[in-house]
Protein backbone atom coordinates (compact mmCIF):
# COMPACT_ATOMS: atom_id res chain seq x y z
CA UNK A 1 0.00 0.00 0.00
CA UNK A 2 1.39 3.42 -0.91
CA UNK A 3 1.61 6.39 1.46
CA UNK A 4 -1.31 8.32 -0.04
CA UNK A 5 -3.67 5.33 0.33
CA UNK A 6 -2.55 4.83 3.91
CA UNK A 7 -3.06 8.55 4.66
CA UNK A 8 -6.61 8.41 3.26
CA UNK A 9 -7.45 5.53 5.63
CA UNK A 10 -5.80 7.31 8.56
CA UNK A 11 -7.75 10.51 7.96
CA UNK A 12 -11.02 8.57 7.72
CA UNK A 13 -10.28 6.84 11.03
CA UNK A 14 -9.24 10.12 12.68
CA UNK A 15 -12.48 11.79 11.56
CA UNK A 16 -14.45 8.88 13.01
CA UNK A 17 -12.60 9.16 16.33
CA UNK A 18 -13.18 12.93 16.42
CA UNK A 19 -16.89 12.56 15.62
CA UNK A 20 -17.27 10.14 18.51
CA UNK A 21 -15.13 11.94 21.10
CA UNK A 22 -15.30 15.61 20.07
CA UNK A 23 -12.71 18.19 21.04
CA UNK A 24 -11.26 18.93 24.47
CA UNK A 25 -9.73 15.63 25.59
CA UNK A 26 -6.08 14.86 26.27
CA UNK A 27 -3.83 13.83 23.39
CA UNK A 28 -3.38 10.38 24.97
CA UNK A 29 -7.12 9.64 24.68
CA UNK A 30 -7.12 10.40 20.96
CA UNK A 31 -3.93 8.39 20.50
CA UNK A 32 -5.39 5.28 22.12
CA UNK A 33 -8.65 5.54 20.19
CA UNK A 34 -6.96 6.18 16.84
CA UNK A 35 -4.51 3.34 17.49
CA UNK A 36 -7.45 1.00 18.18
CA UNK A 37 -9.38 2.18 15.11
CA UNK A 38 -6.41 1.81 12.75
CA UNK A 39 -5.67 -1.71 14.04
CA UNK A 40 -9.36 -2.58 13.63
CA UNK A 41 -9.10 -1.45 9.98
CA UNK A 42 -6.30 -3.99 9.48
CA UNK A 43 -3.39 -1.54 9.38
CA UNK A 44 -0.03 -2.28 10.98
CA UNK A 45 0.48 0.39 13.64
CA UNK A 46 3.28 1.07 16.10
CA UNK A 47 2.55 3.29 19.09
CA UNK A 48 5.21 5.47 20.76
CA UNK A 49 7.92 4.22 18.39
CA UNK A 50 11.36 5.17 19.75
CA UNK A 51 13.29 7.50 17.46
CA UNK A 52 17.02 7.59 18.24
CA UNK A 53 19.36 10.31 17.04
CA UNK A 54 22.61 9.47 15.26
CA UNK A 55 25.28 11.96 16.29
CA UNK A 56 28.90 11.55 15.19
CA UNK A 57 28.12 7.95 14.17
CA UNK A 58 26.77 7.15 17.64
CA UNK A 59 23.16 6.08 18.15
CA UNK A 60 21.72 8.05 21.07
CA UNK A 61 18.43 7.20 22.75
CA UNK A 62 17.08 10.63 23.67
CA UNK A 63 13.51 9.75 24.51
CA UNK A 64 11.97 10.94 21.23
CA UNK A 65 8.96 8.90 20.18
CA UNK A 66 6.67 8.95 17.16
CA UNK A 67 3.05 8.97 18.37
CA UNK A 68 1.92 6.48 15.71
CA UNK A 69 3.69 4.93 12.74
CA UNK A 70 1.41 3.23 10.22
CA UNK A 71 2.58 0.48 7.87
CA UNK A 72 6.15 1.61 8.59
CA UNK A 73 5.51 4.44 6.12
CA UNK A 74 3.36 7.24 7.56
CA UNK A 75 4.22 9.22 10.70
CA UNK A 76 1.30 10.52 12.76
CA UNK A 77 1.96 13.27 15.28
CA UNK A 78 -1.08 13.95 17.45
CA UNK A 79 -1.92 17.15 19.28
CA UNK A 80 -4.76 18.53 21.34
CA UNK A 81 -3.87 22.22 21.42
CA UNK A 82 -5.53 25.58 20.73
CA UNK A 83 -3.69 25.85 17.41
CA UNK A 84 -0.87 24.19 15.53
CA UNK A 85 2.33 26.18 15.12
CA UNK A 86 5.68 25.95 13.33
CA UNK A 87 7.27 23.95 16.18
CA UNK A 88 4.67 21.19 15.77
CA UNK A 89 5.39 21.07 12.04
CA UNK A 90 9.15 21.01 12.68
CA UNK A 91 8.78 18.20 15.22
CA UNK A 92 6.86 16.05 12.74
CA UNK A 93 9.32 16.77 9.93
CA UNK A 94 12.25 15.94 12.22
CA UNK A 95 10.76 12.52 13.04
CA UNK A 96 10.23 11.94 9.34
CA UNK A 97 13.83 12.85 8.52
CA UNK A 98 15.28 10.74 11.36
CA UNK A 99 13.34 7.69 10.18
CA UNK A 100 13.57 8.46 6.46
CA UNK A 101 9.77 8.53 6.09
CA UNK A 102 8.18 10.38 3.18
CA UNK A 103 4.77 11.31 4.60
CA UNK A 104 3.56 12.63 7.92
CA UNK A 105 0.21 13.72 9.26
CA UNK A 106 0.05 16.31 12.01
CA UNK A 107 -3.41 16.02 13.53
CA UNK A 108 -4.84 18.45 16.09
CA UNK A 109 -7.99 17.00 17.67
CA UNK A 110 -8.80 20.19 19.60
CA UNK A 111 -10.85 21.73 16.77
CA UNK A 112 -14.55 21.84 15.93
CA UNK A 113 -14.10 20.31 12.46
CA UNK A 114 -11.18 17.86 12.26
CA UNK A 115 -10.51 18.76 8.63
CA UNK A 116 -9.20 22.11 9.97
CA UNK A 117 -6.76 20.31 12.28
CA UNK A 118 -4.98 18.09 9.74
CA UNK A 119 -1.67 19.04 8.14
CA UNK A 120 -0.05 16.79 5.54
CA UNK A 121 3.75 16.99 5.58
CA UNK A 122 5.94 15.67 2.79
CA UNK A 123 9.65 14.86 3.10
CA UNK A 124 11.01 14.53 -0.44
CA UNK A 125 8.73 13.62 -3.34
CA UNK A 126 5.65 11.45 -3.24
Q: Using one digit for the tens of pLDDT, what is the confidence trace for 4-57?
A: 999 999 999 999 999 999 999 999 999 999 999 999 999 999 999 998 888 888
Domain 3-122 = CATH 3.40.1350: yes
Radius of gyration of the chain (CA): 14
In the three-class reduction of DSSP (H, G, I as helix; E, B as strand; rest coil), residue 99 is classed as helix
Residue 47: count other Cβ atoms within 10 Å of its Cβ: 16
Domain ranges within the chain, ordered by starting residue: 3-122
Residue 60: count other Cβ atoms within 10 Å of its Cβ: 11
Q: Using one digit for the tens of pLDDT, what is the confidence trace for 102-113?
A: 999 999 999 999
Amino acid sequence: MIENDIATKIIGCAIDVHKNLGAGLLESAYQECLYYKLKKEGLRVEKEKPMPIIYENVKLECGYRIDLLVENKVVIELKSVDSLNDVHMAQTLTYMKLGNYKLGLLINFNVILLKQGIKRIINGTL
